[in-house]
Structure 1
């Protein structure tokens, strides 16, 4: 079964050469930019644990943010299509990465904690079902090899 194909292009440029390139582990910055045509520049670095700049986004931040944003966008779409009126949504997502003995590593999991504000009269079962379906449809969730847990909280206006 084939479907519609979508392509995405970004340019990542290292901006952390302090004059001597990568001549030593401590001689260069991990600073870089991430650009997609016509969009704002994302300032990037590595995690501060790996000599990165804590004021810039690291790949791990962006991965957790991508999982969270994808789930939210699917959830809002499904609610809209299903007659559920969402008036507010904030997710306090968290991911855990584990390093291995060789210095590599992987994500062990991501937990999404969406706080959803609903219009009065929302069907509680439908609201929960939409989270389950959003997780099943999320392109990012379907592309990663670690578990994603969704722990939603609902409030009525």
Structure 2
């Protein structure tokens, strides 16, 4: 199959001008809207550590969310061909980011903690090994320049 290029378009609009523009570091809010055609507006801000509104999504949370979602969707797409019947999937992803004195920074790593529940006990080992394949397929994990690890837990429906 030939390679295919997919295109994405979002608009980010700063809504945090309090009337003073950016005349000072404390003179403005970090609030903004993230918009994409046909979707609800996502209310964004900076992380509260950087004078942002903690009630809004921040870019760091969204990046960790994108890693978690991408892994899950890759995993679920691969499951049928592997004979794994997934009946539930949750993840609590974590990440560490270092900031420097000059204001720059980067993520050091992200760790996904997927809890996958499969229909039958005989699927558990295949379900565990499927995480490595899903990681290899995940577009987002393949695109970041920091390690993304998976620490999966496999459960069997009904507790068997």
Identify whether the pair has TM-score above 0.5, normalized to the shorter chain. Answer: yes
Residues 1:154 and 2:154 aligned together:
yes
- Alpha-carbon deviation of 1:72? 0.2
| Match in the other structure for 1:132 | 132
| Match in the other structure for 1:119 | 119
Residues 1:32 and 2:32 aligned together:
yes
Moved more, 15-24 or 118-127: 118-127
| Match in the other structure for 1:13 | 13
Residue 34 of structure 1 contacts residue 41 of structure 1 at CA under 8 Å; is this kept in 2?
yes
Unaligned runs of 5+ in 2: none
User: 1: distance between equivalents of 2:130 and 2:35?
Assistant: 33
Query: CA offsets, 1:61-98, max 9 Å, x none?
Result: 00000000000000011112222110111100011110
| Match in the other structure for 1:59 | 59
TM-score normalised by the chain length of structure 2: 0.94
Query: CA offsets, 1:82-120, max 9 Å, x none?
Result: 221101111000111101221100000000000111102
TM-score normalised by the chain length of structure 1: 0.96
- Alpha-carbon deviation of 1:3? 1.0
| Match in the other structure for 1:84 | 84
User: 2: distance between equivalents of 1:16 and 1:130?
Assistant: 44
Residue 84 of structure 1 contacts residue 122 of structure 1 at CA under 8 Å; is this kept in 2?
no
Query: CA offsets, 1:130-150, max 9 Å, x none?
Result: 100000010000000000110
Unaligned runs of 5+ in 1: none
